[in-house]
Chain A
């Protein structure tokens, strides 16, 4: 017995020695940047998942977009003030009718020293439009003349409206005047790629390496799939003197609780949106601690109505349902991240007056009146004769809580009976696209900073993102007209009128406008988050 004890003890001791030898105890190996001397300009963040693809023409998600926006640079870039500023383009001219843009490129280099030329842009845009390459975001390039035709195989790529006149001049011809085109040229699908390398090695974008070159403030030196990405300052970048960060490490940790723990411990410099998300039940606590940052972004959470199904085919019923929601209660008690109640379709970052909206929040009186009128129009004597309304959402705790709250509100305020149903995301979205639903929860984040982004979703009854089966000829007409209107003020007026029609018919009940919520190191400055919620680290630094 003594011998066995001794054996066990020895084993434990050995294990302990091994552990302490490798464990090394302390974790803070000088990675904290506590401002005694100049702090290390190294930024550690979690981007949550592996990016879909780091080829600008293939990317279709925010994770890929985040990496690409910091390693590549397009003709324009969204500045710290939220407005597009010239980037790869030094100067530009627009034709009289607004359809031809001539860009003059500045002298700039790829990270391997190759010069950035107009051919690189032409090659990249045509590559994305080539149906062979199966880019799911090619539709962003449909603003180019023959873009859609080329992508759907009805025209050749040569006929697409982008031509490199010479190494430094890019001539772009659009399908029709597009007032927000310079916003679009900052979007990741419009980024250039090194055409020399891409033609030689079509797999250049699949891994980091000497063929993965970029022209932006940072270059990617490491890509361990599903583990991390490392960026370092690009010393060939034309504006490198304004870039202060030396290194960026992007982890891919799916668990948001782990991410927050790592931030609190000092292993990360940022936790939450837009790179990832904060655990919802931690938000209240973080706010109490005074370290929570909140910024409204151009996105809306809404309930879509299937306007072909009784009783939702009646406008008054739809409006009654929309008016009877207490949005303030939802954002205060359920989502709790400073969201703004939405009584309009377009976010306040584009139409500031939409902070007030088109109707009063929780206007139960008007809702009741509208309900009565609606019932009469449909031929029901009483609310109890209404078919049970099904509320659908994709499985998620937050969506469930909101649906339950709204179910309760409709019952209490209007006496309407509802049933909740939820499915996994892919199943759910197919249901919606098929029209197999009554009320369905959805959200939309702007792709670029213009109201048409939100309104054109519902222009055509069968549009890819409509799902409500609603269409209105005047609404459509106003949107089409707005594309041709050259005066920006008149154009916004047209869009406002369109929105009014939309809100009068209420095919969708907006609930709240999104916000980004995050925590960050105090001495981290100048991280540029645009109104759309995307992030650029070009100007960021540790004080």
Chain B
């Protein structure tokens, strides 16, 4: 197992290197630079700025410096938010997105699995059909529409929650719900279809004939085996959700990390682009690794370390 983990960590480093390199070149290909503005800066000032940030050096030198920065986790100052470093931005935004993301994940996983189990156990009943219809809606409706609807119903009409901004726990509920809708629906469907397969297996029939109650069969035996696809899905989903959704954070005015992914590109804020892309990649790669390890723990039939990666 340990050898496996070490090998995986090595491949993560390699993947990171490729990602970081591609990001660097894509960033520089786009026309424009951090100082592009309506009023052209006097050439001396622009030259000064470029020299200070090392933007006037040949590309291979810049690339080398960039790699060093990534390795030492010192991405430098943001061009757009004067006085703040990239690390400041990540340190300010990530806890917010993380909190919101974990809340949304909890809702999605808990209710998604519950819904999926109910639908599978009561296959073809009204429970099944209604929950699956809800699931389709949840997957198809874009998150910003869901967000606007939630705002309208719960914040404006019923006035149960604030419309936006970030402050107390109240402020987190609507955005967490909006974030959780799609994953919840997807997890429900996933759980349902896997559960249906599992319930048809021989050992379940054996358990039934042994006289176990439905609750024991479903929750003690069938559920565990149905979770594998959900766990695979959870890997990238977690990485995605905890780093923040640009759309949800914008609509609810939440100062999370999500906005930076899009705005840093619009602003040509090179250091921030570099920082958040690397940050996200690391989280994603670690999440996938975690998922692979958990596979081995949950299902003894899967030998994780035996051959190359899963």
In whole angstroms, how far apart are the Cα atoms of A152 and B44 in the complex?
6
Mark contacts of A347-377 with chain B using CB atoms, 8 A cut-off: 1 yes-contact digit, 0 otherwise.
Answer: 0000000000000000000000000000000
Q: Which residues of B contact A134 (CB under 8 A)?
A: 45, 48-49, 52
What does the 1/0 interface line of A105-141 toward B look like (CB < 8 Å)?
0000000000000000000000000010010101100
A58 part of interface (Cβ distance < 8 Å): yes
Pairs across A and B, CB under 8 Å, 12 listed: A23-B160, A151-B44, A151-B45, A225-B255, A226-B259, A255-B164, A255-B253, A258-B252, A261-B164, A265-B159, A425-B266, A429-B32
Contact of A136 (CB < 8 Å), options: B35, B161, B214, B268: B35
What 1/0 mask marks residues of chain A from 245 to 260 whose CB sits below 8 Å from any chain B CB? 0000001111101100
Q: Which of B38-90 contact A (CB under 8 A)?
A: 38-42, 44-45, 48-49, 52, 80-84, 88-89
Tell whether, in the assembled complex, residue A1 and residue B214 are in contact, meaning their CB atoms are under 8 Å apart.
yes
A300 to chain B, nearest CB (A): 13
Whether A203 touches B83, Cβ cut-off 8 Å, given contacts A4-B215, A258-B251, is yes
Which residues on B are within 8 Å of A, measured CB to CB? 30-33, 35-42, 44-45, 48-49, 52, 80-84, 88-89, 92-93, 114, 148, 151, 155-156, 159-166, 168-170, 173, 214-215, 250-253, 255, 259, 266-268
**Chain B residues near A464 (CB, 8 Å)?**
39-42
Residues of A452-466 contacting chain B, CB below 8 A: 464-465
Residues of A148-165 whose CB lies within 8 A of B: 151-153
Closest chain B CB from A301 CB (angstroms): 13
Are the CB atoms of A131 and B48 closer together than 8 Å? yes
Partner of B159, one of A19, A26, A225, A258: A26
A281–B267 Cα gap in the complex (Å)?
26
**Is the beta-carbon distance between A139 and B42 smaller than 8 angstroms?**
yes
Cα(A224)–Cα(B92), bound, Å: 9
Q: Which one of A48-56, A179-187, A491-499, A504-512 is at the interface?
A: A48-56
Q: Are A205 and B83 in contact (CB under 8 A)?
A: yes
The reply to whether B39 and A258 contact each other, CB–CB distance below 8 Å, is no
Q: A35 within 8 Å of B by Cβ?
A: no
Chain A residues near B52: list those with CB within 8 A. Answer: 134
Q: Are A430 and B266 interface neighbours, CB within 8 A?
A: no
A465's partner among B40, B169, B250 (CB-CB below 8 A) is B40
Compute how far the CA of A203 lies from the CA of B84 in the bound complex, rounded to whole angstroms.
10
**A264-B255 Cα distance, complex, nearest whole Å:** 23
Q: Mark A267-311, 1 if CB is under 8 A from B, else 0.
A: 100000000000000000000000000000000000000000000
- How far apart sit A524 and B155, CA to CA, in the bound complex (Å)? 25
Pick from A58, A151, A203, A227: contact of B165, CB under 8 Å: A227
Q: What is the CA–CA distance of A426 and B80 in the complex, to the nearest angstrom?
A: 13
Could you tell me if A227 and B255 are in contact, using CB atoms closer than 8 angstroms? yes
Which residue on chain A has the smallest CB distance to residue B246? A254
Given the complex of chains A and B, what is the CA–CA distance between A134 and B53 in angstroms?
Answer: 11
Give the complex CA separation of A27 and B161 in angstroms.
7
Residues of chain A within 8 A of B40, CB atoms compared: 433, 464-465
Which residue from B45, B92, B155, B163 sits with its C-beta under 8 Å from A225? B92
With beta carbons under 8 angstroms apart, the residue of A55, A60, A227, A264 that contacts B166 is: A227
A524 to B251, CA, bound (A): 27
On whether A426 and B215 interact (CB within 8 A), knowing A25-B160, A228-B165, A267-B162, the answer reads: no
Complex formed: what's the CA distance from A262 to B36 in Å? 33
Counting from the closest, the 10 A-B pairs by CB-CB distance are: A426-B32, A253-B253, A464-B40, A206-B83, A53-B82, A226-B255, A227-B255, A152-B44, A426-B36, A427-B31
Task: Note all chain A residues with C-beta closer than 8 A to B162.
Answer: 27, 267
Query: How many residues in A have their beta carbons less than 8 Å from beta carbons of B?
Result: 56
Q: Are A255 and B32 in contact (CB under 8 A)?
A: no
Residues of A within 8 A of B41 (CB): 136, 464
A residues adjacent to B (C-beta < 8 A): 1, 3-4, 8, 19, 22-27, 50, 52-53, 55, 58, 60, 131, 134, 136, 138-139, 151-153, 203, 205-206, 224-228, 251-255, 257-258, 261-262, 264-265, 267, 424-427, 429-431, 433, 442, 464-465
Chain B residues with CB under 8 A of A258:
151, 163-164, 251-253
Contact A427 B81 (CB under 8 A): no
B267 CB contacts on chain A under 8 angstroms: 426
Are A22 and B168 in contact (CB-based, < 8 A)? yes
The answer on a CB contact under 8 Å between B173 and A252 is no
Bound together, the chains give a CA A27 to CA B157 distance in angstroms of 12
Q: Which of A3, A255, A257, A427 has the most CB of B within 10 A?
A: A255
Is A23 a contact partner of B266 (Cβ separation < 8 A)?
A: no
Could you say which of A22, A267, A426, A431 contacts B266, with CB atoms under 8 Å apart? A426
User: In the assembly, what is the distance between CA of A537 and CA of B40, in Å?
Assistant: 32
Say yes or no: B31 contacts A58, CB within 8 Å. no
> Contact between A52 and B161 (Cβ–Cβ < 8 Å)?
no
Q: How far is the CB of A194 from chain B (nearest CB, A)?
A: 17
Shortest distance in angstroms between B108's beta carbon and chain A's nearest beta carbon? 14
Q: Is B163 in contact with A429, judged by CB distance below 8 angstroms?
A: no
Q: Is the pair B215, A251 in contact by a Cβ cutoff of 8 Å? A: no
- By beta carbon, the residue of chain B nearest A148 is B42
A214 to chain B, nearest CB (A): 16
Per the bound structure, the CA–CA distance linking A429 and B38 in Å amounts to: 7
**17 further contact pairs, Cβ within 8 A, besides A1-B214, A134-B45, A205-B83:** A131-B48, A136-B41, A139-B42, A151-B42, A203-B83, A225-B89, A227-B165, A253-B165, A254-B250, A255-B250, A258-B252, A261-B156, A261-B163, A426-B32, A426-B267, A430-B31, A442-B38
The smallest beta-carbon distance between B251 and chain A, in angstroms, is 5
Flag if B253 contacts A254 (CB, 8 Å). yes
A55-B83 Cα distance, complex, nearest whole Å: 10
CB distance from B186 to the nearest CB of A (A): 21
